């Protein structure tokens, strides 16, 4: 079960008003990839245009370099999600192997083209890590937490890494059950009845989801949805 220290961890902010725009929303770098791809297509369509090719490759390379920096470079307070280095390293290794195969069986020019083609998926992988990293904070005990769920007014959407909650659990989804769904001897029956009484017969679930402990706060009234209703005196549930 989560410790009291984990429950007392402040939600924090998932965006940082004083941070640079790219740190708040790394996905903006994909615009460079998009524009660069147009230049590459135009420059290699029929008559070769070295200027457009150079511009396209340059823009894509700049986006890739910045995405790699955001994903793997120094970023105080923001931890990289687990296996992010393996993901990026795997993409690099894949295209290096493909380039080697192209050099052996096709030629040097084809090997260079293979490496250049790898810039786009490499940028995509690095941006995925950077976006998750932008929403990830350090928690108690060298664990990671995602404060994005507490920032409903965050203009830059994203999902961070969070290993402080049970696998598959989220504070954004609350199971609404009737206490009658649980046997009398079930350890959660009394807690379900307590929640039903606290919200005029509804069972809204804990505000902290599966990471909560018995007696923790239930979902606030402003978040409450229509759910099961329970009447202790009559001993039956209705919807």
What is the residue-wise DSSP string for 22-73?
Answer: HHH-GGGGHHHHHHHHHHHHHHTSSS--HHHHHHHHHHHHHHHHHHHHHHHS
- Please give the model's pTM, rounded to 2 decimal places: 0.64
pLDDT over 80 at 59, yes or no:
yes
Nearest to 223 by CA among 197, 210, 205: 205
* Confidence (pLDDT) at 79: 81
Q: 233 pLDDT band (50/70/90 cuts)? A: very low
**Binning pLDDT at 50, 70 and 90, where does residue 119 land?**
very high
Higher pLDDT, 4 or 162: 162
User: 130 or 158, which is more confident?
Assistant: 130
Instruction: State the Cα–Cα distance between residues 21 and 239, nearest whole angstrom.
Output: 47
Which tops the pLDDT comparison, 222 or 26?
A: 26
Q: What is the mean pLDDT of the chain?
A: 76
What local confidence, expressed as pLDDT, does residue 21 receive?
84
Span 75-115, pLDDT tens digits:
887 888 888 889 999 999 999 999 999 999 999 989 999 99
* Helix-helix angle 108-117:84-105, to 10 degrees: 160
Backbone angles phi, psi at 138, to 5 degrees: -75, 140
For a pLDDT cut of 90, what percent of the chain falls above it?
33
The percentage of residues in the chain with a pLDDT greater than 70, rounded to a whole number, is 64
Among 16-20, 66-70, 197-201, 222-226, which is the least confidently predicted range? 222-226
Instruction: Report the range of poorest mean pLDDT among 61-75, 77-91, 108-122, 135-149.
Output: 135-149
What is the C-alpha separation between 59 and 31, in angstroms, rounded? Answer: 9
pLDDT higher than threshold 60 for residue 62: yes
Q: Which of 1-10, 49-58, 170-179 has the highest mean pLDDT?
A: 49-58
pLDDT confidence of residue 200: 59
What CA–CA distance (Å, rounded) separates 204 from 196? 8
182 vs 233, higher pLDDT: 182
Buried/exposed 199-217: b ≥16 CB within 10 Å, e otherwise: bebbbbbbebbbbbeeeee
pLDDT the model gives residue 228? 38
Minimal CA–CA distance to 160: which of 188, 193, 141, 138? 138
What was the pLDDT predicted at 63? Answer: 96
User: Which residues lie across from 231 on neighbouring strands?
Assistant: 236
Mean pLDDT of the 223-233 span: 44
Q: What is the pLDDT of residue 151?
A: 64
């Amino acid at each position: 079960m989560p410790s009291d220290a984990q429950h007392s961890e402040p939600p924090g902010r998932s965006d940082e008003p004083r941070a640079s725009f790219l740190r708040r929303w790394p996905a903006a770098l994909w615009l460079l990839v998009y524009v660069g791809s147009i230049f590459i297509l135009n420059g290699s369509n029929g008559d070769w245009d070295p200027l457009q090719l150079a511009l396209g490759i340059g823009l894509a390379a700049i986006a890739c370099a910045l995405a790699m920096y955001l994903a793997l470079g120094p970023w105080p307070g923001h931890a990289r999600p687990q296996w992010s280095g393996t993901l990026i390293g795997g993409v690099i290794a894949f295209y290096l192997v493909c380039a080697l195969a192209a050099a052996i069986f096709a030629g040097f020019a084809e090997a260079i083209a293979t490496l250049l083609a790898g810039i786009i998926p490499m940028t995509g992988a690095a941006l995925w890590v950077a976006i998750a990293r932008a929403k990830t904070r350090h928690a108690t005990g060298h664990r990671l937490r995602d404060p994005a769920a507490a920032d409903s007014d965050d203009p830059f959407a994203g999902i961070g890494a969070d290993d402080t909650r049970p696998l598959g659990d989220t504070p954004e989804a609350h199971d609404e059950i009737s206490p009658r769904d649980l046997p009398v001897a079930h350890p959660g029956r009394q807690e379900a009845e307590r929640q039903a009484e606290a919200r005029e017969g509804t069972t809204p679930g804990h505000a902290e989801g599966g990471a909560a402990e018995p007696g923790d706060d239930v979902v606030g009234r402003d978040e409450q949805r229509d759910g099961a209703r329970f009447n202790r005196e009559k001993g039956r549930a209705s919807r």
